[in-house]
Amino acid sequence: MLSSNTLQEFARIVGPEHVLTSLEDLVAYSCDGTFVEQRPDAVVSPLNTEQVSRVMQVCDREGISVVARGMGSGLAGGAVPVSDGISLCLTRMNRVLNLDTENMMVRVEAGIVTADLQAQVEAAGLFYPPDPSSIKHSTIGGNVACNAGGPRCLKYGVTRDYVMGLTVVLSNGRVLQTGGKAIKNVTGYDLKNLFVGSEGTLGIVTEVLLKLIPKPEFARTAMAIYPLLENASVTVNNVLRAGVLPATMELMDNTTLGTIEEYLHLGLPTDAAAILIIEVDGGDEETVTKEIETIDRVCRASGASAVRVAKTEAERNDLWRGRRSVFPSLARRGPDQLTEDISLPRAAVPEAIRRIKAIGEKYGLPICVFGHAGDGNLHPSILHDKRDSEQTRRAEQASRDIFSIAVELGGTLSGEHGVGVLKLPFLGLAESPLEIELMQAIKRLFDPKGILNPGKKFPAA
Ligand SMILES: Cc1cc2nc3c(=O)[nH]c(=O)nc-3n(C[C@H](O)[C@H](O)[C@H](O)COP(=O)(O)OP(=O)(O)OC[C@H]3O[C@@H](n4cnc5c(N)ncnc54)[C@H](O)[C@@H]3O)c2cc1C
């Protein structure tokens, strides 16, 4: 428990109304996008880097653990406290600080919601491509901490590819500025990238300098329908070999399609084994049109029984509506979902899906497979009911088997959600003892007292 003196000290730094201790508030901050739950002792919401630094000085002095929190949409239990301590909520720090149209870069505070950032830069004709499906309810700080991806990664890359600089408050309150507007920089170690994907275990990100690109003016979208799942996967490589690099290639299997259709009645092909939603974009309409025609041809040649190319913006939105509704649809079918995030070499995707389906049958649980087929990042989602302990046990076993398959096929446990606490027990499947030892040494260097998001990302030394 935090002493009343400590709580008063926090209140003097951030203002009393920004230190929450009521039971209702603590419950609200006790979870993220998963079922993991643990109440913090207090929620502290600073307004700027200086306040974060002063809060961290108190925590360092008193040995109080600190779990950074953006919007709490994480899917690995990363923002959930695991022991006594504070939840440090960054959402009051939500401003665009500087939009530099000449260098095509933007400096923002870490708590800005990603969709708000995108809207503001798009108003200036610029584009911030990373687009986690949680874009309206996740922050840039959380995206940086998890190195978030999303459907557009195939063409545009992940959050890391856009981070040019960071302001980070270290565990003892010191403020580190790292990176900058120079596009090439090999001066010293690349400290900036150490924080990207570090899940709040090395420092609190308070400001982010991001690279932007010109906004693509034109986009065309197609849905390809497959009687055989295998052929949907084969299409992905065939499209790339045909010289087209789509912005997105999203796969949904039959179980996922049925689940969405039950919810939204969109007229999805529920008898198909799988569909792909493929989108191309760019600055030249003629090129984009040619690319979607090539995709139509390649999909059919690869076994698609039909290809529907959206002719209007409304039709395009309809094609995307199903994909965007995967999570709410799953919630209707099974009260709890264990959504994994395995990342595979692209060519291993068909075999992985076959084996995941067999796991679903083995444990008697529906597993919906969907995800970013273009970059081999799948989200098998095991539907179950946590109130039934027997079902929960089977879901956990299924989850372990899925991780084993990913590693056996040359892949890994997580492509974009991070390790948090949920994947921690399986880390040894994917990372060698030496890798884990080095991570622990880095952690000790940045956080000698172990107060930053303890018990997350990798086992304590
Ligand atoms: C419906 C749904 C769809 C999703 N789709 C995608 C997707 O397509 N792609 C994808 O990559 N993810 C996706 N996610 C996962 C999640 O939205 C992302 O991981 C996102 O980046 C988390 O941002 P957040 O602000 O909610 O962070 P939180 O959940 O609050 O925190 C996540 C982690 O980051 C740390 N953290 C947060 N802010 C900071 C900071 N300022 N400094 C240091 N550490 C910090 C936390 O301690 C925690 O470890 C999805 C989640 C949901 C619920």
Q: How far is the CA of 76 from the centre of ligand 1 (A)?
A: 9
Contact in structure between 143 and 113 (CB atoms under 8 Å): no
Contact in structure between 208 and 110 (CB atoms under 8 Å): yes
* pLDDT of 217 higher than 90: yes
Helices (H), 382-461: 389-408, 427-430, 433-446
Contact in structure between 373 and 353 (CB atoms under 8 Å): no
| 212 CB-contact burial (10 Å; exposed 0-12 / middle 13-18 / buried 19+) | buried
Instruction: Compute CA distances 137 → 44, 123, 142, 323, whole Å.
Output: 20, 20, 10, 17
- 53 CB within 6 A, ligand 1: no
Which amino acid, residue 282?
G
* pLDDT of 461 higher than 80: no
Contact in structure between 191 and 166 (CB atoms under 8 Å): no
Number of CB atoms found within 10 A of residue 223's CB: 26
pLDDT band with cut points at 50, 70 and 90 for residue 50: very high
DSSP state of 243: T
Which residue has better confidence, 347 or 377?
377
Number of CB atoms found within 10 A of residue 448's CB: 11
- 454 CB within 6 A, ligand 1: no
- 255 CB within 6 A, ligand 1: no
Residue 285 to residue 176: CA distance in whole angstroms: 44
Q: What is the pLDDT of residue 122?
A: 96
Q: What is the pLDDT of residue 42?
A: 97
pLDDT band with cut points at 50, 70 and 90 for residue 7: very high
* pLDDT of 330 higher than 90: no
pLDDT band with cut points at 50, 70 and 90 for residue 1: confident
pLDDT tens for each residue of 154-198: 999 999 999 999 999 999 999 999 999 999 999 999 999 999 999
Tokens of residue 168, six digits:
């980070």
As a whole number of Å, the end-to-end CA separation of the chain is 25
Taking residues 28-38, report their average pLDDT. Answer: 94
CA 307 vs. chain centroid, Å, equals 29
Q: How far is the CA of 296 from the centre of ligand 1 (A)?
A: 35
Number of CB atoms found within 10 A of residue 384's CB: 24
Q: What is the pLDDT of residue 384?
A: 92
pLDDT band with cut points at 50, 70 and 90 for residue 318: confident
What are the E-state strand segments in 216-365? 218-226, 248-253, 274-282, 306-309, 336-339
Q: Which uninterrupted H or E stretch holds 296?
A: helix 285-301
Q: Which atom of ligand 1 is the closest one to the Cα of 110?
A: 41
Residue 436 to residue 61: CA distance in whole angstroms: 28
Phi first, then psi: give them for residue 67, nearest 5 degrees.
-110, 110
Taking residues 75-103, report their average pLDDT. Answer: 95
* Residue nearest atom 28 in ligand 1 by C-alpha distance: 72
- 375 CB within 6 A, ligand 1: no
Residue 410 to residue 149: CA distance in whole angstroms: 20
User: 191 by DSSP, 3-state: which?
Assistant: helix
DSSP state of 37: B
pLDDT band with cut points at 50, 70 and 90 for residue 459: confident
Taking residues 256-264, report their average pLDDT. Answer: 91
| 460 CB-contact burial (10 Å; exposed 0-12 / middle 13-18 / buried 19+) | exposed
Q: What is the pLDDT of residue 331?
A: 82
* Residue nearest atom 37 in ligand 1 by C-alpha distance: 142
Indicate the Cα dihedral angle 174, 143, 405, 274, nearest 10°: 180
Q: How far is the CA of 108 from the centre of ligand 1 (A)?
A: 17
Strands 175-179 and 126-127, bridge-based pairing = unpaired
Q: What is the pLDDT of residue 209?
A: 98
* Residue nearest atom 36 in ligand 1 by C-alpha distance: 142
Q: Which atom of ligand 1 is the closest one to the Cα of 151?
A: 8
- 76 CB within 6 A, ligand 1: no
Q: What is the pLDDT of residue 70?
A: 98
* pLDDT of 82 higher than 80: no
pLDDT tens for each residue of 381-406: 999 998 999 999 999 999 999 999 99
List, as one string, the DSSP characters of 149-175: --TTHHHH--GGGGEEEEEEE-TTS-E
Q: How far is the CA of 127 from the centre of ligand 1 (A)?
A: 20
Report the mean per-residue pLDDT for the chain.
95
Strands 86-89 and 66-69, bridge-based pairing = parallel
Q: Which atom of ligand 1 is the closest one to the Cα of 144?
A: 21
Residue 327 to residue 361: CA distance in whole angstroms: 22
Phi first, then psi: give them for residue 16, nearest 5 degrees.
-60, -35
> What's the pTM value of the predicted model, to 2 decimals?
0.96
User: 318 by DSSP, 3-state: which?
Assistant: helix
Taking residues 253-265, report their average pLDDT. Answer: 91
Which residue has better confidence, 337 or 174?
174
pLDDT band with cut points at 50, 70 and 90 for residue 327: confident
pLDDT band with cut points at 50, 70 and 90 for residue 371: very high
Taking residues 3-28, report their average pLDDT. Answer: 97
Give the max Cα distance, the chain: 71
Note the residue count of the chain.
Answer: 461
Q: How far is the CA of 428 from the centre of ligand 1 (A)?
A: 23
Which amino acid, residue 333?
R
Q: What is the pLDDT of residue 48?
A: 98
Q: Which atom of ligand 1 is the closest one to the Cα of 141?
A: 41
| 34 CB-contact burial (10 Å; exposed 0-12 / middle 13-18 / buried 19+) | buried
Which amino acid, residue 372?
H
- 254 CB within 6 A, ligand 1: no
